[in-house]
Amino acid sequence: MEQGINVVLMEKTATGELRKIEERVWSMNMVAALEHVNYIVVGDREYETIEGRLNVDLGSLELLLVPMQS
């Protein structure tokens, strides 16, 4: 049975600060879908994915997001 990977979503604010949006386990199918998407919706807000980092020490995938203007 596939367990997935822990994903941490970080928002880069207009002032340049980083704010943790959420952390949860994603299936490997969701992680693979990142190859085909530029935007993520979380909590009814849309974010553009800027970059990702694999944190081997923590065993997590960290995604840097910028909120889209509505």
C-alpha–C-alpha distance, residues 66 and 13, integer Å: 7
Is the predicted pLDDT of residue 7 greater than 60, yes or no? Answer: yes
Residue carrying structure tokens 């923590």: 58
* Per-residue model confidence (pLDDT) at position 55: 95
* Per-residue model confidence (pLDDT) at position 3: 84
The 10s digit of each residue's pLDDT in 19-63 is 999 999 999 999 999 999 999 999 999 999 999 999 999 999 999
Beta strand 60-67 with 5-12: parallel, antiparallel or unpaired?
A: parallel
Domains recognised in the chain with CATH numbers = 5-67 (3.10.20)
The model's pTM is 0.88
Is the predicted pLDDT of residue 2 greater than 90, yes or no? Answer: no
Give, in degrees to the nearest 5, the angle at Cα 31 between 9 and 5. 70
Is the predicted pLDDT of residue 1 greater than 50, yes or no? Answer: no
Token duo for residue 69: 């203007």
